[in-house]
Copies of this chain bind each other. A is one copy, B any other.
Amino acid sequence: MDNYNDQVKTLLAVDCIIFGFDKKHLKILLIKRDFEPERGRWSLMGGFLQPEETLDEAATRVLNHLTGLDNVYMEQLRAYSAIDRDPVERTVSVSYYALINITEETKLNDNFSAKWFDINEAPDLIFDHTNMISHAMSRLRHRAGTKPIGFELLPEKFTMKQLQTLYEAILGEKLDKRNFINKINGLDILLKTDEKDMKSSRKGSFLYMFDEVKYNAKVSDGFTFKL
C-alpha cells in the first residue's frame, strides 16, 4: 500500500446541528458569521479538529464553546468531502447533531451572534450546511422512534402534551392524543409525579419524568423502545 509520508493531509472539521425544542417547535441553533469566509451569512457552528482530540471530543468542545453546555447528547452523522465545499481550502467536515433542552440558563456565547431558528424557517446557509441539516433531521426522526432521545430535548419534568408536541415536531405530523398516550404508557418507562403543570389549563396536567434506570433495566432484559 501507500507510504504514510507520501500522503497528503487534509483539513478536518466538525459541524454541529444543534436541536432544541421551545415547548412548541423544533429549533436549530445557527450562528451569524462575522468572520471569513462567508462573513455575514448564517451557518452551523463548527470548528477544526485538533491533533489531541477525537471527532467526538471536537464536536463536544465546539458545542460547549457556543452554549456553555456539557453532557449533551450528541451523535456523529457523516463526513462531507466534496472538493470545493469550502472555498478557502479543501476541508472535510464531519457532522454531529446535538439535542439540548433550552432553558433560561442557556447562555449563548455572544461572539457568535447565534440564534434559534424554527426548523422549517432556517435561512440560507453556507457550504453544504443545508444538506447536513436534512441528514440530521432524517436521522433524528428515525432515532426518535427507536431510542428514548426525545427526553433530551425536554426539561426533566414534562407533560404528556409537551411530549406529544415534541414528537409531532420531530415527525412532522399530527398524532392522535389517545393513541400516543396509550403507546407511551405501554412502554412503561415514565414516572408520573404528583405535580401538575398549571400553566396550560385550569385543570392542570400531571408532570412525568423519564425513568432512565427502569429503561436501562428493561433494555438489558430484552426490551426495545419503539414508538
Contact = CB atoms under 8 A, between A and B. Distances in A.
Interface of A: 1-2, 4, 7-12, 33, 35, 46-56, 76, 78-79, 81-83, 88-92, 94
Contacts of A9: 9-12
Contact of A81 (B7, B54, B82, B91): B54
Complex copy number for this chain: 2
A interface, over-half SS = loop
A32 B115 CA distance: 52
Nearest to A31: B1
Nearest to A89: B4
A55 B79 contact: yes
Contacts of A4: 11, 88-89, 91
Contacts of A55: 79, 81, 92
Given A55-B92, A79-B94, A81-B54, A49 B1 contact: no
